[in-house]
Structure 1
């Protein structure tokens, strides 16, 4: 049996659509670190929590409001750190995701976002929380110090610590998730 050096390519003609592989895997699973769109409804937030939990991904959620002035500088900083952070052999989580949780979102079609703030004990803006491990709704850690969140080195050190800690509620200190 000989293997061709190059697989034949399919070409599109007329009304044929480009062929894409079928996948039930969400976009979150296609890369290790991911910045998600802001959560504007509770179901969006809870769905991301479950997906991250199932795949052993640490979800960083920055609870914000439209009037939060420090959030305007903190969000791009965390976004950049998440996008550029390379994996480390000491990481207990297989990936990292980040999104803002807009507590004053006008979209009330699927519940009130302020209820999430109450559920997770958000008392100041911004509040950065890590969610990870087998129990998706459990908070791994939280930061409310705006000075710390505004300092790239401090946020990077905190992020590295969270990735090393893994699932604080697991007896092994970090599960493999369903796919990892």
Structure 2
């Protein structure tokens, strides 16, 4: 494998962009280190949710992969949403994974409650189902039972303050799965019996 190169194109989950990766292998010296490996930033910005099936797919993915999914419920008439969305996208994109995080990853999507829906569902029904009473409303979903809300923020002043939002995201990421007894790693009877 002397200096061979392989090029592959991967479809990025964030905003449907294509990224080219150049992978190389060589016979150079391998370096070893005794320090902890650096954690990779695997956070994702997901496409906006405009139909209920997309919402439910994102929840299933969050549940299956131990992801904290932040969803901003918004409408086209929400002026503060247009300011808060880019702030949250930047926060999620730039936040490094930390050793104290209980979730493997952080993802963000906007739920457009007033988007035209052609899927035999109703986006407004999602707002009612999850108790959205003001715009914007930020909810965190995660853990084995991701259909449950782990945390909620309705204070637009807080959502517009990057430092407060960073502290909130850190807190939620460190709390982890709100229902650990529902699967491995929790304090349920089976985990006590079988480790």
TM-score interval, smaller chain: 0.7 to 0.9
Q: In the alignment, which residue of structure 2 is the partner of 1:85?
A: 95
With the length of structure 1 as denominator, give the TM-score of the two structures: 0.81
Q: Is the 8 A contact 2:113 2:123 kept in 1?
A: yes
Q: Taking structure 1 as reference, are residues 34 and 175 closer, same or farther at Cα in structure 2, changes over 3 Å only?
A: farther
2:52 maps to 1:42: yes
Q: In the alignment, which residue of structure 2 is the partner of 1:7?
A: 4
Q: C-alpha displacement at 1:174, in angstroms?
A: 8.7
Q: In the alignment, which residue of structure 1 is the partner of 2:19?
A: none
Q: Is the 8 A contact 2:140 2:150 kept in 1?
A: yes
Q: Taking structure 1 as reference, are residues 175 and 38 closer, same or farther at Cα in structure 2, changes over 3 Å only?
A: farther
Unaligned 5+ segments in structure 1 are 10-17
Q: Distance in 2 between matches of 1:156 and 1:164?
A: 12
Counterparts of 1:61-100 in structure 2, within 5 Å, are 61-100=71-110
Q: Distance in 2 between matches of 1:174 and 1:95?
A: 18
2:156 maps to 1:159: no
Q: What secondary structure is seen at the aligned counterpart in 2 of 1:98?
A: strand
Q: Is the 8 A contact 1:35 1:82 kept in 2?
A: yes
Q: Is the 8 A contact 1:56 1:175 kept in 2?
A: no
Q: In the alignment, which residue of structure 1 is the partner of 2:127?
A: 117
Q: In the alignment, which residue of structure 2 is the partner of 1:130?
A: 140
2:150 maps to 1:140: yes
In the alignment of these two chains, the number of paired residues is 161
Q: Distance in 2 between matches of 1:67 and 1:116?
A: 18
State the Cα deviation string for residues 13-36 of structure 1 (Å, max 9, x = none).
xxxxx9769xxx9947xx710001
* Higher strand proportion: 2
Q: Is the 8 A contact 1:131 1:139 kept in 2?
A: yes
Unaligned 5+ segments in structure 2 are 15-40, 187-195
Q: Distance in 1 between matches of 2:162 and 2:184?
A: 26
- Flag the structure with more relative contact order, 1 or 2, with Cα contacts below 8 A and sequence separation at least 6: 1
Q: Is the 8 A contact 2:75 2:112 kept in 1?
A: yes
Q: Distance in 2 between matches of 1:85 and 1:110?
A: 37
Q: What secondary structure is seen at the aligned counterpart in 2 of 1:97?
A: strand
Q: Is the 8 A contact 1:64 1:100 kept in 2?
A: yes
